[in-house]
Structure 1
Amino acid sequence: MTRVEGKVALVTGGASGIGLSSARLLAREGAKVVIGDYNLDGAKEAAKEIEKSGGTASAIFLDASIEESIKEAIEYTVKMYGKIDVLFNNVGLTNLQKDLDVVNIDLDEWDRLIDVNAKSVLLGSRYAIPYMKEAGGGSIINTTSMAGFASDAIRTAYGASKAAVVSLTSYIATQYGKDGIRCNAVAPGLILTPAAKNNLPKEVQEIFLKFNALPYNGEPDDIGYTVLFLASDESKYITGQTIKVEGGHYIANPSIEDFNEFMKKA
């Protein structure tokens, strides 16, 4: 339980789902963790839970749409624990009501999703990199999505923003590798976070399951363990990569027709 012993990590969007799983695992393996989230009460509760389990954690309010809020979270992490070794840029938004096809998408929603999903990754990295350079290196991990690789009937802005994260990941890795800074991304498929379980009908979950190579849908820890690996020195020779954690859903024939049929019936 010492895979990231002595490291300091900031996890954005860490109050629930993938972020919470990652924060727990990082703390369990020895990291001091700052949980940044718009849901400050949830972040505080998560930090308290980690502390009760013997880990070290604290919480800070983070609005990923505001540059100053991202900067403050980075500076708080350094002030609290003396450095930042790991930055997990995990905040992401989607909107099934407004983020539609190209003709019908709400353009304000396009701007909002590009801003939060892609620009927040740029800003988090922008403010963390100088501290990492000073410390001799670090690991930046970004949450992208399989939507950045496989198009859909809707969620145009979401997919475009996540594709931007894939590209930005390789740019960061290229530009700051000589400073000992690695940058990688994780691309989840369907992960059964509490939000996914509450918002996705069982029929949709079963469609994903039908086209998975594996006989089950993913859980938050499936991403959390990947983040832990990328945060640790076990991955010290891996940079600029996007690891697809999606149960083999996208390695066979596309399933878009099945989704369209379901939407017609609904």
Structure 2
Amino acid sequence: MRLEGRVAVVTGGGRGIGAAYCKALAEEGAAVMVADIDGTGAAEVAREITASGKRAASCTVDVSSKQSTSAMAQAAVDAFGGIDILVNNAAMYANLTRKGFEDISIDEFDRVMAVNVKGIWLCTMAVAPSMRQRGGGRIVNIGSGSVFVGGNGLVHYVASKMGVIGLTRALARELGGDKICVNTLIPGLTDSSSNRANTTTAYLESEAKQRCIEKIQTPEDLVGPLIFLSSDDSHFVSGQNLNCDGGRLFI
């Protein structure tokens, strides 16, 4: 197990792809803090992990709040002694409706940026002291292939995910001296319970036909790349984009 003895914090871990990340990290030996604004969902995922004999705990977090993200980091330190891995997965997406850019309200645009971009900054600030104390760490920010194609009716989401790439690069520069690697994992359109809220089967199938590997992407397809970026296998990789979409986009 490549993550034995490590502690991971996963935001947005209470459902969908985030839940798959939590379970995969636990299977590789990490103790996992499942963090989500839906505290009930986070607790259920943690319960499933502990029922399988692995280590997990849960907390409720609003990643757009400094107080909340600080409490999340402290909860992980209290439960497991420190933090080695942060997966910045929480994002506004499934609760958004595809619409033209002129039809998006200012409040909605601001909230997307607060969660999807500011949230990564706040979570990174919250966990960095513990990672420094432990001699290094891994931060995996979840991006989106939508930034390379643009027109999916969610301009605020697309803009926020391009912001994630820029933030990853800047953080990689600042944290490299602390032996903290920061990278972006970029999924293609993935069939998950969260994405089903605004994505039809027909849409998923049409995108699958554009891939070198012609299949609908599932959360399990992202597990290998996530573990790589979370483990010592990626000790000399930082500031990079790892695209995982079955060969739809070449970037």
TM bin (shorter chain): over 0.9
Q: TM-score, normalised by structure 2?
A: 0.94
Closer/same/farther in 2, CA of residues 214 and 176 from structure 1, 3 Å limit = same
* Alpha-carbon separation, structure 1, partners of 2:129 and 2:221: 31
Q: Is the 8 A contact 2:64 2:122 kept in 1?
A: no
* Alpha-carbon separation, structure 2, partners of 1:116 and 1:195: 16
Closer/same/farther in 2, CA of residues 207 and 177 from structure 1, 3 Å limit = same
* Alpha-carbon separation, structure 2, partners of 1:251 and 1:213: 10
How far does residue 248 in structure 1 lie from its aligned partner after superposition?
1.7
Aligned residue number for residue 158 of structure 2: 159
Pairwise CA RMSD: 1.6
Q: TM-score, normalised by structure 1?
A: 0.89
Aligned residue number for residue 241 of structure 2: 242
* Alpha-carbon separation, structure 2, partners of 1:68 and 1:124: 10
Q: Match for 2:213: what amino acid?
A: L
Q: Match for 2:120: what amino acid?
A: V
Q: Match for 1:125: what amino acid?
A: T
Aligned residue number for residue 227 of structure 1: 226
* Alpha-carbon separation, structure 1, partners of 2:104 and 2:76: 37
Closer/same/farther in 2, CA of residues 48 and 96 from structure 1, 3 Å limit = closer
- Give structure 2 stretches of 5+ with no counterpart: none
Q: Is the 8 A contact 2:96 2:198 kept in 1?
A: no
1:183 aligns with 2:177: no
Question: What CA deviation, in whole Å up to 9, does each residue of 1:54-92 have, x standing for no partner?
Answer: 100001011223221111101111111111000111001
Q: Is the 8 A contact 1:182 1:238 kept in 2?
A: yes
* Alpha-carbon separation, structure 2, partners of 1:153 and 1:236: 35
Aligned length: 250
Aligned residue number for residue 5 of structure 2: 6
* Alpha-carbon separation, structure 2, partners of 1:52 and 1:179: 35
Per mean C-alpha deviation after superposition, the further-off stretch among 77-86 and 64-73 is 64-73
Q: Is the 8 A contact 1:117 1:161 kept in 2?
A: yes
State the identity %: 35
Aligned residue number for residue 34 of structure 1: 33
Aligned residue number for residue 63 of structure 1: 62
Q: How does 1:116-127 map to 2 (within 5 A)?
A: 116-127=115-126
* Alpha-carbon separation, structure 2, partners of 1:129 and 1:69: 15
Per mean C-alpha deviation after superposition, the further-off stretch among 201-210 and 176-185 is 201-210
How far does residue 250 in structure 1 lie from its aligned partner after superposition?
2.5
Closer/same/farther in 2, CA of residues 84 and 245 from structure 1, 3 Å limit = same
Per mean C-alpha deviation after superposition, the further-off stretch among 220-229 and 31-40 is 220-229
How far does residue 200 in structure 1 lie from its aligned partner after superposition?
2.2
Q: How does 1:106-125 map to 2 (within 5 A)?
A: 106-125=105-124
* Alpha-carbon separation, structure 2, partners of 1:133 and 1:251: 35
